[in-house]
Structure 1
Amino acid sequence: MMIAVGFLLACLAAALQPTSAAEAGRGGILHIPSAADLARAGCPSRCGGVAIYYPWGIGPGCFRPGFELTCNNTASHKRLFLASTTTEVFGLGPGSTYFRTPAIHFNVTMKPGMNDTYNMSWEAPVKGVMAYGETSLFVVGCGVGVYLFGHDTNDPIGRCMSICLDDKVAMEEANATHDYFGYIGMGYCSIYLQQYVSAFGFVVDRLNGGVLARSGQDEGLPTSIKVFLAGSYDFQMTDIYSSRVDNRNIHAAFLGMTITDQPSCESAQKKKSSYACGDNSDCVDVLSGGYSCSCRPDTNDNNPYLKDGCQQENYNPNLKGGCKRLCGNTSIPFPFGLEKGCYATDKFRLNCTSENITIFNLRAKYIVANISVNEGYLSVRETQNNSGYNDEELTVLVYTGEGGIEIGSNYDGFYLSEE
């Protein structure tokens, strides 16, 4: 009898073991949980002011391996970090593997009168982390050139030059219309990463004749060149002459985490026990290796890493009466609408501001100029910081078919389709 009981206990213990050494060692989970599973496990949903969304998590059973976080309670306020690192997390998005983190600074001290070359590099704090493609390397200083390249491949990513004029007012006027993606900048320049990188190197060179002191004098010209990785930067002339850039002018950098337990979607989908993408989601290959998940266009686009995270939206062809169909001079035809019960799905909801401006939300805010479902277009202009708009018009195309209507997007514009 004792032997039978012992054997039964051993079997139960084996059945309760995690499915891999990674899960056992770090407390991560490789199966796809539901929102209810995480709630039952008591997984924290916040750390201070930062909301936490799976696959990120704190504590055993609350995160996918590689996505562990820690909440520092010893500071005056709670702060969120990547586990076992000093990389702070400012913000996470639902269903996203990207996160906001403080700008990454590099200090370069240039010796006066010397044409020295400085080599520097950055590597991700843990495996799987990458600098997001929409992040830039910014350089603040006078008379310098910077060359950015892949750390492992030495393939060039970009270059820029920062020069200074002897007339401060002229510099300020030049910067008033300066596009920071430009190759040459006045007092600062930047290099747009354009790709996801887990490491990079850069070279800083002093330019001959690139430093022109105000009024022909050397006074106040700094020898320190400020280099930092950030999402964006609001240049101020004072940043050139101060010992460090004012953090109020720098916006958080964007980093991302890749699922690396399999090298590609093809291999990940063959191993169902550890596949990360939930129902109604698609797998996306990452060029550097690994993969991520994305909800399909006909879903609520909530969280592709949960079982129930990408729920299909119900198309509503039955409208309530009395729907408002004008916003100023802009006609609002179905499937678009302004009020609940007047649009086909949430993706077709428009907002009419108090100034009678029609706003369309699709990962960014757009001002709607005209809608014609029959002719197949929606003319919009992207807002800048929620005010004003640029001159580029994007077009929505309509494709006929069977089933519900959905909205997608690509680099050239928006697309309506029926599937």
Structure 2
Amino acid sequence: MFSAVSAALLLLPLVAAAAFAAAPSPASTVGRHCTSRCGNISIPYPFGVEPGCYRPGFDVTCIKEDGTPTLFLRNISEVIDINLPNGTVDVYVERVDQSLPVPRTYGIINWDVVGLYIDEGPFTLAPARNKLLVVGCDVQALLMGSDEADIISTCAAFCSRIFWNNTYQVGSDDCSGIGCCQAPIPAGLKVYLLQFRRFNGSYSSDQATVYVVDAERLSSFPMGVAPWGALPVVLEWVISTSTCPSNSTSPECLSSNSFCQNSTAFRGTGGHRCHCAQGYDGNPYVLDGCKDIDECKYPEVYPCFGDCNNTVGGYLCKCPLGFVGDASIPTGCKDVDECLHPDAYACYGICENLPGSFHCQCPQGTYGDPTTKGGCITIKNSFPGWKVALIASSGFILLIVALVAPFVTRKIQLQRVKRLKEKFFKQNHGLLLQQLISQNTDIGERMIITLREIEKATDNFDKSREVGGGGHGVVYKGLLHLHVVAIKKSKIVVQREIDDFINEVAILSQVNHRNVVKLLGCCLETEVPLLVYEFISNGTLYHHLHVEGPISLSWDDRLRIVLEVARALSYLHSATSMPIYHRDIKSSNVLLDDGLTAKVSDFGASRYIPIDQTGVNTAIQGTFGYLDPMYYYTGRLTDKSDVFSFGVLVMELLTRKKPFVYRSDDGDGLVSHFASLLGEGKLGDIIDPQVLEEGNGDIQEVAALAVMCTKLKGEDRPTMREVELILENLRIKTEARSCRAPCNWDHIPVQGVIQEVSRQYTMEEEMMLSASYPR
């Protein structure tokens, strides 16, 4: 259990003016006496220092400390920046220390929860911009709304006993939970309460520090030097708590080129801000504050690589005379070859194209006006015999070159294509494929497919042929040798993607099982290797399961699909020449044919395991929600990693809940919540109503099997062979329920599983299983 310690969280030390919502705007009377800057920070209206220079609720103070002017909001928070277009103010907020005494001036709710109330006014925390940051060891911080039951954000930080020496041992700058942690803060509330909870058995001191910080600036503050006195926070404001009028602009939007826009920053209340219209910039809250932007002065913002002309509210960008194209992009303006259009540019002599223009002259031996037809007149005796001979010989040479050049060019192109294919063949691990072919002639006869055949089958990879994609490529539908096939093409040309493709070829070429997608061949003649495998026409299990409406796959189909997936994994683990671990079992990687037969697919992340080893250390790959926590934390891949993912898939089939997004009312993931309900005998609270109606008494045993597969320790989980046998038994029981005499079947000790579940999930293990905690 936790020991609770409390502290006041000074999230927003601001008190709004009582008359904010109904206050008149003095924008039209703001004079030159108003302070416009404090240090390097501009102070635009509605903010101001002197009376009459600001809108009520937006007063700031410029104080000189050590000779340096510093801007403060309400004499409390130091201002970093005021952004008028975005409607934000960046301020520094002091940290909160757990070990400090609780000041009564913040308002004590009780001795366990303390918070600061915020009056209605223009400021609130900017949505999605700020985070809760906790620096400490073996402590959990809970951020709550108006009472203890309203937990809106939380995170926990841990430290190792071995390295504990009364200083924070921060593991990395991203606050992954070692020495510090972070969590999002829902904005728009009027009060935020904070509570600390210390883990039993902690070896740390009692001190822990909490910040509220701008998430975009968090990387600028290295965790190794924490704690700091204060960190930057982003506040959002509205000019009025009312919404924009439907048929006119807001009275607060005084500039003639401005418009009103509603804000969603305040939860449960209205509010709006003013903005300058497109093509204008400035202050929309003062008369004539929005000025026309001269876009031609800012080419980095308004690109124009031709002739730029500023207009009211915009600009015109066109190519210079003699050029055509798109002047808004570099090299977008192309030179016009006037010599190709003699009628348009009037040149009937020798035309020479120039950048942006052209030169026209009469041919040698003529004179006159080359810009008119027949304007060039031949000069008599202008062609001596040596020139005729020179032209004749030159023409003969050119004729020979013209006849020979196509053959030479084609030969060079063929040699270049051949070398390129050889390069891609080596780059795409063609030697590995040759080795497989030499070991199995059956593979060789069907594996090698030419690029020409692939392009013909997919209409040159036409976009209309795309039928889907996964983490390792895009899939096209094609017709090859009178068979409908699926062709996978890598998304990104990087070595890791190519290695994954060749890994899938090596694995699927040796797999032959009715519940594993069948590889038909591959093509290595391109920079990106291509795979050709059987086309499964009925989509994925994910799309069949998570459909709109209460009715999905029947319970009989779900139980059969689970059994077929178990058969495929059992085959991969124990029936192949070398065990294969899939590493990414999930509903979107299970395809269904027209008869709803399951086909396990996407072997790009799979790994061979030597037969004399039980596991191997690898880089972490998989999908959160399905990922084995022991594999995630240790990096050691075993057959029990696929067992865990299979157990999550069974829970998904029982509940129709998505494991990677599901959260219970208590913040638990699908695995932990499902196990808890099974232990409490409340499994019906989460099971799909359709399954409850069609289950026929099998639900409890299948649920217990799913929990057994998702036990925290891998050695406590069954093997896929054992899972296959259990499901075979359940399947036989389902098909034999029509027998008249009572049927005696072996079954899973459900009660023992329930008793063990009640002991298994402590708070520490729950955090390990949850993939949604900030990392």
- Please report how far the alpha carbon of residue 185 of structure 1 lies from its aligned counterpart in structure 2 after TM superposition: 0.7
Q: From 144, 149, 153, give the equivalent of 2:144.
A: 149
Query: Counterpart of 1:222?
Result: 205
Change (3 A) 1:120 1:235: farther
Query: Counterpart of 1:335?
Result: 328
- Please report how far the alpha carbon of residue 199 of structure 1 lies from its aligned counterpart in structure 2 after TM superposition: 2.5
- How do 1:46-125 and structure 2 match up within 5 A? 46-73=37-64, 76-83=67-74, 85-109=75-99, 118-124=112-118
Question: After superposition, what is the alpha-carbon deviation per residue over 1:94-137, rounded to whole angstroms, capped at 9, x for unaligned?
Answer: 444321211332121299xxxxx942323448833212221112
Partners of 2:33 and 2:319 in 1: CA distance: 41
Change (3 A) 1:110 1:102: closer
* Unaligned ranges ≥5, structure 1: 1-20, 112-116, 212-217, 240-244, 326-331, 340-390, 392-419
Partners of 1:121 and 1:145 in 2: CA distance: 17
Partners of 1:222 and 1:138 in 2: CA distance: 18
Partners of 2:262 and 2:276 in 1: CA distance: 11
Structure with greater strand share of residues: 1
Change (3 A) 1:284 1:270: same
- Please report how far the alpha carbon of residue 75 of structure 1 lies from its aligned counterpart in structure 2 after TM superposition: 5.5
Answer yes or no: is the 8 Å Cα contact 1:145–1:159 preserved in 2. yes
- Please report how far the alpha carbon of residue 270 of structure 1 lies from its aligned counterpart in structure 2 after TM superposition: 7.7
- Please report how far the alpha carbon of residue 314 of structure 1 lies from its aligned counterpart in structure 2 after TM superposition: 1.4
Change (3 A) 1:223 1:59: same
Query: Counterpart of 2:223?
Result: 236
Output the TM-score relative to the length of structure 2: 0.31
Query: Counterpart of 2:244?
Result: 265
Query: Counterpart of 1:414?
Result: none
Change (3 A) 1:129 1:174: same
Query: Counterpart of 1:318?
Result: 318
Q: From 124, 133, 136, give the equivalent of 2:131.
A: 136
- Please report how far the alpha carbon of residue 230 of structure 1 lies from its aligned counterpart in structure 2 after TM superposition: 1.7
Partners of 1:185 and 1:60 in 2: CA distance: 48
Answer yes or no: is the 8 Å Cα contact 1:56–1:69 preserved in 2. yes
Query: Counterpart of 1:291?
Result: 271
Change (3 A) 1:189 1:292: same
Answer yes or no: is the 8 Å Cα contact 1:103–1:251 preserved in 2. yes
- Please report how far the alpha carbon of residue 297 of structure 1 lies from its aligned counterpart in structure 2 after TM superposition: 6.5
- Please report how far the alpha carbon of residue 207 of structure 1 lies from its aligned counterpart in structure 2 after TM superposition: 1.9
1:275 aligns with 2:252: yes
Partners of 2:326 and 2:187 in 1: CA distance: 39
1:162 aligns with 2:144: no
Describe the SS at the equivalent of 2:51: coil
Question: After superposition, what is the alpha-carbon deviation per residue over 1:124-167, rounded to whole angstroms, capped at 9, x for unaligned?
Answer: 48833212221112111111112212237964321111111235
Describe the SS at the equivalent of 2:172: helix
Describe the SS at the equivalent of 1:103: strand
Answer yes or no: is the 8 Å Cα contact 2:154–2:183 preserved in 1. yes
- Please report how far the alpha carbon of residue 259 of structure 1 lies from its aligned counterpart in structure 2 after TM superposition: 3.0
Answer yes or no: is the 8 Å Cα contact 1:135–1:229 preserved in 2. yes
- How do 1:394-409 and structure 2 match up within 5 A? none
Change (3 A) 1:300 1:266: closer
- Please report how far the alpha carbon of residue 67 of structure 1 lies from its aligned counterpart in structure 2 after TM superposition: 0.9
Query: Counterpart of 1:352?
Result: none
- Please report how far the alpha carbon of residue 236 of structure 1 lies from its aligned counterpart in structure 2 after TM superposition: 2.8
Partners of 1:101 and 1:320 in 2: CA distance: 48
**Alignment RMSD (CA, Å):** 4.2
Residue type of the partner of 2:260? Answer: D
Answer yes or no: is the 8 Å Cα contact 1:301–1:310 preserved in 2. yes
Question: After superposition, what is the alpha-carbon deviation per residue over 1:343-390, rounded to whole angstroms, capped at 9, x for unaligned?
Answer: xxxxxxxxxxxxxxxxxxxxxxxxxxxxxxxxxxxxxxxxxxxxxxxx
Output the TM-score relative to the length of structure 1: 0.54
Change (3 A) 1:290 1:54: farther
Query: Counterpart of 1:175?
Result: 172
1:185 aligns with 2:177: yes
Partners of 2:200 and 2:277 in 1: CA distance: 53
Question: After superposition, what is the alpha-carbon deviation per residue over 1:175-199, rounded to whole angstroms, capped at 9, x for unaligned?
Answer: 36x4x4xxx6111111211433342
Question: After superposition, what is the alpha-carbon deviation per residue over 1:213-265, rounded to whole angstroms, capped at 9, x for unaligned?
Answer: xxxxx5xx4321111112244343453xxxxx134xx64111233334x4333
Higher relative contact order (CA 8 A, sep 6+): 1
Answer yes or no: is the 8 Å Cα contact 1:110–1:223 preserved in 2. no
Question: After superposition, what is the alpha-carbon deviation per residue over 1:384-414, rounded to whole angstroms, capped at 9, x for unaligned?
Answer: xxxxxxx9xxxxxxxxxxxxxxxxxxxxxxx
Query: Counterpart of 1:203?
Result: 195
Residue type of the partner of 1:236? Answer: M
Change (3 A) 1:172 1:22: closer
- Rg larger in 1 or in 2? 2
Question: After superposition, what is the alpha-carbon deviation per residue over 1:311-342, rounded to whole angstroms, capped at 9, x for unaligned?
Answer: 4631313345799x9xxxxxx95434599xxx
